[in-house]
Amino acid sequence: MANDARGPDRGAWARLSYGLATLVTATLLTLLVGVGIAAALGQQGTAGTWSRWSDVGQTFGVLSSIISGLALVAVVLTARVQFRELQRSAAAELSMLHLEILKMSINDPQLAEVWPAFSPGLSVERNRQFLYANIIYQFHWTSLRLNKATDEEALGSMRYLFTSPLMRKYWAAAARARTSLAPGSPEHAFVQRLDDLCRDYEAAVAGADRGFRPAPDVEVSEPVRLADEAA
């Protein structure tokens, strides 16, 4: 995946910075040239010359106002880009903190007991497996939310992961937790597509057990190497 194309728009930030610097430089040069001309005319200019240059000065005044307005627009756009980058960075840090908390619960069974069980009667080993599966799902959703992966890439990787019976069992056990998602939210739409995908696999497995061939739309694709984008 091309991380540069979907991450923070560094190219836009560079273009805005360059444009702002150009406008500021042009304004300073205009002022310096005006001061120089005024000084020269003050030494040897006539009344008629001063009258003509007064008209020119008014024209430069309008031009200066336009340049100042463009500079203000550039400043506003630059601030918006910076604000979006800060929001994206904060979201990424928060998501990484969530993943680290989940990893701690996997490594320590006592910490794992703090989390509600995915379903009643789970063994410690199976609950740890489900916690790990939850980390996998959270990573894919975070990659999609932060534009580190496209819909096709995230779904393709989850399609591969759903070939694992344990991953499908985790998804079924976590269904109750997903009911808290706001209908119409981006994650709600994402999990609905994963629900359909998981059901297709379960139907394909059930059909295979009865001697039927799986449907073409649940053929296994190659995994997407989303782990390379974690940094």
**Dihedral sign, Cα of residue 144, residue 149, residue 155, residue 158:** negative
Per-residue pLDDT of the chain (231 residues; tens, 9 = 90+): 334 444 445 555 566 566 666 766 766 676 666 656 655 655 555 556 556 656 555 555 655 666 677 777 777 777 777 777 776 777 777 777 777 887 887 888 888 888 888 888 888 889 889 999 998 999 899 889 888 889 999 999 999 999 999 999 999 999 988 999 999 999 999 999 999 999 999 888 887 766 555 444 444 444 444 444 433
**How high is the pLDDT of residue 35?**
57
The predicted pLDDT at position 50 comes to 54
- Residues in contact with 117: Cβ distance below 8 Å, sequence separation at least 6, in sequence order: 127
**Contact 167/133 with Cβ under 8 angstroms?**
yes
Q: How far is CA 61 from the centre of its chain?
A: 43
CB–CB of 173/118 below 8 Å? yes
> Which residues does 143 contact at the CB level (< 8 Å), separation at least 6?
149, 154, 226, 229
Count Cβ neighbours within 10 Å for each residue of 137-150 and write b for 16 or more, e otherwise. Answer: bebbbbbbbbebbe
CA distances from 187 to 42, 173, 181, 193, 194 (A): 70, 18, 7, 10, 10
The answer to whether 194 touches 158, Cβ cutoff 8 Å, is yes
The two structure tokens encoding residue 88: 């994206």
**pLDDT for the residue 34:** 61
* DSSP for residue 205: H
Distances (CA, A) of 92 to 83, 86, 186: 14, 10, 16
pTM value is 0.56
